[in-house]
């Protein structure tokens, strides 16, 4: 097996004629049909494996004996030819039998489609997905090869594939693009995107090495504590504190999306009255859905807004990740149960995607030679812990840490991010003495971050309010702005109390 090396993607737009797009659309359709055929065969084989005696015997093997248990499951899979290799063989046989699929796809692309279907089944096996979904028309939007030597390959400044040659649109002044072109290309992926109901094609070059590092995105060497919430995020470095709303700019599109969703539901009900019960619920069983041109037009509008929102979200996440890594590449944060958040804050989690932000943070930190260390929220209980050792439970509505024992006052998220810097991820324990020693040197930075975040939220709320509203209405309607509550006086109180405590504690 070849050694794994780091990879990054360089995306290049392609020049395509109407004839080129017709050929590519046919090849995508061939790939979609082959994917569905392989997925169907894989589901059949998986069901046979799960109903076999070998599989039931493998489940009886103790989980502590991991090697023997894995070997037993492997034998059950091999008995019914359920593996990536066997599905690749099935895909190749199916493509040859179809003739049309074999004319539109090369051998390496066929194998990667089979691997793609097998990875979908693996998610089903390990409980990461509840069901495997077949691709409908328009849902299969990419094809890729295995190497840059055969099949889909990048040669010079264009993509070549089965007699088709597509030139790339290359900006010679773009350092990101030039860095990718000068790196070794592992394989090439073709991607179709529909933007404003127009089709565009891109070549994604999967290159060996690390992505280009822009000069403005400097990577720090310190330790960073991050407290990520549904509505806000707090980031504490050695000399700077960031506290701001999390992806707040995305909320402006939600009202428009909801209106389009309601309109689509009305149109679908009008076009398919027989598919609904008298109480308005959808009938069970197999149904045939009819879509009108107006419904399709509404769906295209919503799809375009979703596409823009996804791009904007990715940009906001990237900016926040760069701000975090500028403070340090060793990041400490709590393990977040996003599924639990989804049950409570479903819509917010859906369009803000905190899990996507975490994945991007891990990827970029590792690419920069750093690491993201996660620890349990239950064992550390940072939001309940004070520097004096006192633990006090807080409701979710209580956003300011105000210790009843020592009088320490700080914004709750900022304080949790500060404490996370002093957590040992291996033992998942908080070192209160270390956190207490570093407090006096960082208190002003934390207060500045609190004040800056409060002012930023106040400006955001002001822009969304009517000009006739006065400042008192703003403060009463904005929970983050209300939290500021005289930070200067709080600073004097904290410094005085903690100077006395530090003297008493030596």
Place of tokens 């619920």: 281
| pLDDT at residue 499 tops 60 | no
Q: Tell me: the pLDDT tens digits for 268-279?
A: 999 999 999 999
- What is the rounded average pLDDT for all residues in the chain? 87
Asked whether residue 283 carries a pLDDT value surpassing 90, the answer given is yes
41 near 213, Cβ under 8 Å?
no
**Do 242 and 449 contact (CB within 8 A), yes or no?**
yes
400: number of Cβ within 10 Å: 18
What's the average model confidence in pLDDT over 151-157?
94
Is the pLDDT at 479 greater than 60? The verdict is: no
- Number of Cβ within a 10 Å radius of residue 132: 15
Reported confidence tier of residue 24, pLDDT bands at 50, 70, 90:
very high
pLDDT at 49 over 90: yes
How many C-beta neighbours within 10 Å does residue 451 have? 17
Helix (H, G, I), strand (E, B) or coil at 146: coil
Residue 256 has pLDDT above 80, yes or no: yes
Taking only the tens place, the pLDDT of each residue in 181-218 is: 999 999 999 999 999 889 999 999 999 998 888 888 88
Among 238, 228, 240, CA closest to 362: 228
pLDDT of residue 107 exceeding 90: yes
* Residue-level pLDDT at 476: 36
Cα angle, residue 316 at apex, residues 360 and 8 outer, rounded to 5°: 40
Q: What is the mean pLDDT of residues 277-292?
A: 92
pLDDT band at 455 (very low <50, low <70, confident <90, very high): confident
Q: What would the pLDDT profile of 367-413 be if each residue is shown by its tens digit? A: 888 999 999 888 888 888 898 888 888 888 888 988 888 888 899 99
More confident site: 46 or 350: 46
117: burial class by Cβ within 10 Å (0-12, 13-18, 19+)?
A: buried
Beta carbons of 394 and 384 less than 8 angstroms apart: yes
pLDDT of residue 396: 82
Is the confidence at residue 484, as pLDDT, over 70? Answer: no
Structure-block tokens of residue 496: 């005085």
Asked if pLDDT for residue 152 goes beyond 80, the answer is: yes
CA 358 to chain centre: 7
């Amino acid at each position: 097996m070849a050694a794994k090396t780091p990879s990054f993607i360089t995306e290049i737009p392609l020049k395509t004629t109407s004839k080129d797009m017709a050929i590519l659309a046919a090849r995508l359709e061939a790939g979609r049909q082959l994917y569905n055929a392989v997925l169907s065969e894989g589901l059949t084989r998986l069901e046979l494996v799960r109903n076999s005696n070998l599989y039931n015997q493998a489940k009886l093997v103790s989980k502590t004996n991991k090697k023997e248990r894995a070997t037993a499951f492997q034998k059950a899979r091999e008995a019914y030819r359920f593996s990536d290799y066997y599905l690749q063989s099935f895909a190749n046989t199916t493509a040859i039998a179809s003739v049309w699929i074999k004319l539109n796809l090369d051998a390496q692309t066929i194998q990667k489609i089979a691997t793609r279907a097998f990875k979908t089944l693996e998610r089903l096996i390990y409980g990461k997905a509840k069901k495997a979904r077949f691709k409908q028309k328009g849902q299969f939007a990419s094809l890729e090869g295995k190497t840059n030597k055969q099949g889909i390959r990048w040669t010079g400044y264009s993509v070549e594939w089965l007699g088709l040659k597509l030139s790339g649109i290359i900006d010679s002044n773009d350092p990101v693009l030039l860095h990718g072109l000068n790196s070794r290309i592992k394989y090439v992926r073709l991607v179709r995107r529909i933007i404003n109901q127009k089709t565009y094609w891109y070549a994604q070059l999967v290159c060996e090495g690390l992505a280009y590092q822009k000069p403005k995105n400097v990577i720090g060497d310190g330790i960073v504590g991050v407290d990520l919430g549904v509505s806000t995020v707090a980031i504490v470095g050695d000399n700077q504190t960031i506290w701001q709303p999390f992806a707040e700019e995305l909320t402006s599109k939600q009202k428009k999306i909801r209106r389009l969703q309601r309109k689509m539901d009305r149109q679908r009900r009008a076009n398919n009255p027989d598919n609904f019960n008298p109480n308005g619920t959808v009938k069970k069983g197999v149904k045939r859905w009819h879509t009108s041109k107006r419904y399709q037009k509404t769906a295209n509008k919503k799809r375009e807004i979703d596409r823009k929102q996804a791009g904007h979200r990715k940009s906001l996440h990237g900016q926040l990740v760069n701000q975090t890594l500028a403070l340090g590449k060793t990041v400490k944060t709590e393990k977040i149960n996003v599924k639990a958040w989804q049950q409570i804050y479903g819509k917010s989690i859906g369009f803000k995607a905190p899990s996507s932000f975490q994945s991007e943070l891990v990827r970029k930190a590792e690419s920069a030679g750093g690491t993201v260390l996660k620890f349990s929220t239950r064992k550390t209980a940072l939001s309940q812990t004070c520097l004096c050792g006192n633990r006090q439970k807080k409701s979710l509505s209580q956003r300011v840490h105000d210790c009843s024992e020592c009088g320490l006052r700080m914004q709750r998220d900022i304080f949790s991010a500060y404490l996370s810097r002093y957590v040992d991820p291996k033992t998942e324990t908080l070192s209160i003495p270390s956190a207490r020693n570093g407090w006096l040197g960082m208190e002003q930075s934390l207060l500045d971050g609190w004040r800056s975040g409060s002012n930023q939220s106040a400006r955001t709320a002001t822009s969304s309010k009517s000009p006739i509203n006065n400042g008192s209405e703003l403060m009463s309607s904005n929970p983050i702005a209300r939290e500021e509550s005289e930070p200067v006086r709080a600073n004097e109180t904290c410094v005085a109390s903690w100077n006395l405590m530090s003297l008493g504690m030596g």
